[in-house]
Amino acid sequence: MTAFPRAFAAMLRVNIANMIQYRAEILLWSFWGIINPTVLYVMWAAAAGGSADGTVAGLTRNGVATYYFSIMVVGHLTSAWDVYEMSYLVRKGALSPQLLRPILPMWNSVTNNMAYKITTMMFVLPMWTLFFLVVRPEFSTQPWQFLLATVAVALGAILNYMMCYTVALIAFWATKLDAVGEIYFGMCMMLGGRVAPIDGLPPVVLEIANALPFRWMFAFPAELMSGLVPTPQEAMAGLGIQAAWVVFVIVLFKVVWRAAIRRYSAVSG
């Protein structure tokens, strides 16, 4: 095993151990990850049931259940929160020891993110199962859609993480990022197909959602998982858009990171 995999594995073990110490806290976060899409499911299912044709945003009541179950799973697996934590690390000087290591501080954050998702599985799996048994979504998803959905979830997780971390680097120039974090989270919710199914958005907002990365973080993987992407060609086109956004955000991160480190060195030095 080379140096990087050893360091990565060590950081992951440490972060998992830290997460286990805060079981009550991560249980609350896990619960919120279930409650939010459940409330939205109830709202949109009621809208579908009360409409003249029994649909909303092109989805039947059961289609809404399937979509929001998928959003529940995708939302957990693609979650990221560095935009809320980076300003603390910069203000308190907690980033300085990490900068002395022969590995980017981002990788410690990556393992923290992975540790959270691993340790919370003991909580979210029973909750997902309960939601599934009560709501009974009916998946008409084909095997190829499930297969490509796993790729889409992975790309969505990378895209959201890298975008969130890059936005968090604003902390090197600003003292607090609370407002920035709320704006970012709001865009994830509104333009990512989480507050409403993408096809339920007004036409102008839908165009904006298609042009920005948020749909490709959350809605597209959920649509694939739900069987709402009808052809392999459309699915591959969506994966291509995801991959293009991932490449763009990685390049953007490298540019902003170099500028942030120069800024940090000038201020602290």
Domain ranges of the chain: 3-268
In the structure, what pLDDT confidence band is assigned to residue 268 with cuts at 50, 70 and 90? low
Q: How many other C-beta atoms lie within 10 A of the C-beta of residue 154?
A: 15
Instruction: Output the CA torsion 160→205→211→57 (10° steps).
Output: 80
Residue range 173-203, pLDDT digits in tens: 998 899 999 999 999 999 999 999 999 999 9
Q: Can you give the pTM of this predicted structure? A: 0.95
Residue 193, Cβ density class (10 Å: 0-12 exposed, 13-18 middle, ≥19 buried): buried
pLDDT of residue 266: 64
Mean pLDDT of 114-129: 96
**pLDDT single digits (tens) 89-99:** 888 888 888 88
CA atoms within 13 A on the CB side of 59: 26
CA nearest 44: which of 33, 30, 29, 54? 54
**Contact yes or no for 64/29 (Cβ under 8 A):** no
